[in-house]
């Protein structure tokens, strides 16, 4: 049995998230169907499950197979079999024990807001349009409260039996013209954590929440204390970090 790492990218607009679900279209579903045709049935492990409508610039999966794999040929085969909203970018044989999920050291996400009065139909599937001017400096200050290890129960959809303690390594907001972007890196994220961070910071940027209140919202460890979740289409899994060989 050999283990392989596969890097993919996808537009999440027409998917019901990454994880396989019965009777709905998912990234894992179409990917494993393509892999089955190319090399035989395999079960993939993913670096991070993305929600419906969320995109990935770099998603990483791993799988084991007893089939001898020509990685360059596999990439060509997958890209002929996959739908147009998914692409296989790279494949390599890795050491035994490698897991796209458990070997990963960090995940990096970016969230993009179009901040101007007029919406842009050409960017509707990749941005959240907010017409009123946002105070990005205040949002940057609010994001500073996320850095470090915290219980993010206020900003996560809790899963039974799973911890909501996470370590955020970097979190920042930047403006470039009418684009406002959130960049965040953590060892791992819980469900809807990034989108909830964005929603809370946007309320700060709108002047509806004081910057100083963010620490208290985190400390409350209560989902009702936060401000919901931002729409999915602005979110991209930007990259996954692994140990350097």
Tokens, residue 152: 């993010």
Residue 97: partners with Cβ closer than 8 Å, 6 or more residues away: 3, 103
Q: Is 51 a catalytic residue?
A: yes
Task: List the one residue out of 36, 34, 28 whose CA is nearest residue 12.
Answer: 28
How far apart are the C-alpha atoms of 134 and 146, rounded to whole Å?
A: 19
- Distance, in Å, from the CA atom of 92 to the CA atom of 32, rounded to the nearest integer, reads 17
Report d(CA 49, CA 101) in Å as an integer.
10
Which candidate in 7, 23, 51, 213 is catalytic?
Answer: 51
Residues involved in catalysis? 51
């Amino acid at each position: 049995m050999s283990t392989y790492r596969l890097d993919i990218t996808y537009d999440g607009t027409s998917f019901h998230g990454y994880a396989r679900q019965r009777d709905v279209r998912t990234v894992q579903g179409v990917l494993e169907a393509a892999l089955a045709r190319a090399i035989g049935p395999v079960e993939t492990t993913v670096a991070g499950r993305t929600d419906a409508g969320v995109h990935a610039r770099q998603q990483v999966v791993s799988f084991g197979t007893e089939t001898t794999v020509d990685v360059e040929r596999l990439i060509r085969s997958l890209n002929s079999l996959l739908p147009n909203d998914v692409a296989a970018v790279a494949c390599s044989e890795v050491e035994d024990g490698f897991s796209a999920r458990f070997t990963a050291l960090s995940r990096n996400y970016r969230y993009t807001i179009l901040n101007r009065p007029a919406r842009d139909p050409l960017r509707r599937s990749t941005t959240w349009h907010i017409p009123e001017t946002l105070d990005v400096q205040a949002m940057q200050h609010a994001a500073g409260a996320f850095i470090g290890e915290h219980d993010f129960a206020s900003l996560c959809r809790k899963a039974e039996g799973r911890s909501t303690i996470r370590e955020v390594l970097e979190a920042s907001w930047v403006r470039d013209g009418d684009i406002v972007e959130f960049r965040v890196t953590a060892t791992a994220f819980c469900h809807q954590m990034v989108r909830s961070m964005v929603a809370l910071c946007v309320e700060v940027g709108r002047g509806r929440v004081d910057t100083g209140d963010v620490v208290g919202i985190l400390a409350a460890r209560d989902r009702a204390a936060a401000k919901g979740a931002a729409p999915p289409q602005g979110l991209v899994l930007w990259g996954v970090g692994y140990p350097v060989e």
